[in-house]
Chain A
Amino acid sequence: LAKTTQPISMDSYEGQEVNITCSHNNIATNDYITWYQQFPSQGPRFIIQGYKTKVTNEVASLFIPADRKSSTLSLPRVSLSDTAVYYCLVALSGGYNKLIFGAGTRLAVHP
């Protein structure tokens, strides 16, 4: 399973765009890039997944360059409620595969 590397922590202010970059140099052909969000005292929550180029949903955007060795989670106009830990994972396709969590990025949004 490909190992991921992301910043340990980030700080931002309300209304700003936040970009969290994750490195996954050993990503395999069948791997997807998945991001989870975890609030204190809650289980992780799936937020977005992509294979290549750009994916956007109501929560975030995910940018993946052509070589797929990194990805960037973009949170537009963050609010205080976006304060959480964000995990980047590389997840195999095909179903019923275990997830390996890295250290995650602790995002603090300030007023």
Chain B
Amino acid sequence: SAVISQKPSRDICQRGTSLTIQCQVDSQVTMMFWYRQQPGQSLTLIATANQGSEATYESGFVIDKFPISRPNLTFSTLTVSNLSPEDSSIYLCSVDSLGGQRTSGGETQYFGPGTRLLVL
């Protein structure tokens, strides 16, 4: 089955710096999604990244703080800029379909293992 990987798996950063998180899929996918999961909380969608177009951000998330790249059908990056302790979270990417094959029925997404970020 297809594999979704994220780098780094965890990091500790100083406030004011930035961290870029990579998401790699071993098959081509149309849509990639970025989520944030704060400690003990549920997942919150940050943005949707479609190859070849600007990412679509959810309410409360802006491109200046969370720039996203989607250069091809297997890769995306999320940068968390100007870090503050409130950005300490797990960041997860997900994809809409693996191997380009969509199943019938409702939306189904496959998640990477997440990147655990601690900001000091």
Contacts of A103 in B (CB 8 A): 42
Question: What is the interface size of chain B, counting residues whose CB is below 8 A from a CB of the partner?
Answer: 27
A92 touches B107 (CB 8 A): yes
Within 8 A of B (CB), among A54-110: 87, 91-93, 95-104
Pick from A44, A45, A49, A96: contact of B105, CB under 8 Å: A49
Q: How far is the CA of A55 from the CA of B103 in the complex (A)?
A: 16
B30 within 8 A of A: yes
Chain A residues contacting B45 (CB-CB under 8 Å) are 98-101
| Segment 87-120 of B: residues with Cβ below 8 Å from A | 92, 94, 96-97, 102, 105-114, 116
What residues of chain B lie closer than 8 Å to A104, measured between beta carbons?
Answer: 42
Among residues of B, the one whose C-beta sits closest to the C-beta of A93 is B106
Q: A98-B33, A101-B44 are in contact. Are A46 and B109 (CB under 8 A)?
A: yes
Chain A residue with the shortest CB-CB distance to B6: A43
Q: Please measure, in the bound complex, the distance between the C-alpha atom of A99 and the C-alpha atom of B48, giving whole angstroms.
A: 10
Beta-carbon contacts of B46-61 to A below 8 Å, as 1s and 0s?
0010000000001000
Report the bound CA distance from A42 to B9 in whole Å: 11
Q: Which residue of A lies closest to B104 (CB)?
A: A93
- The answer, yes or no, to whether A14 is at the interface (CB within 8 Å) is no
Q: What are 25 sample pairs from A and B whose C-beta atoms fall under 8 A apart?
A: A33-B106, A34-B107, A43-B4, A43-B94, A43-B112, A43-B113, A44-B43, A44-B111, A45-B111, A49-B105, A49-B108, A51-B105, A87-B42, A87-B43, A91-B106, A92-B107, A95-B97, A96-B31, A96-B107, A98-B45, A98-B48, A98-B107, A99-B45, A101-B43, A103-B42
Q: Which 4 A-B pairs have the closest CB atoms?
A: A32-B106, A43-B111, A91-B106, A91-B107
B: residues with CB less than 8 A from A are 4, 30-31, 33, 35, 42-45, 48, 58, 92, 94, 96-97, 102, 105-114, 116
Other A-B pairs, 5, CB within 8 Å; known A46-B110, A99-B109? A43-B92, A96-B31, A98-B48, A99-B94, A101-B44
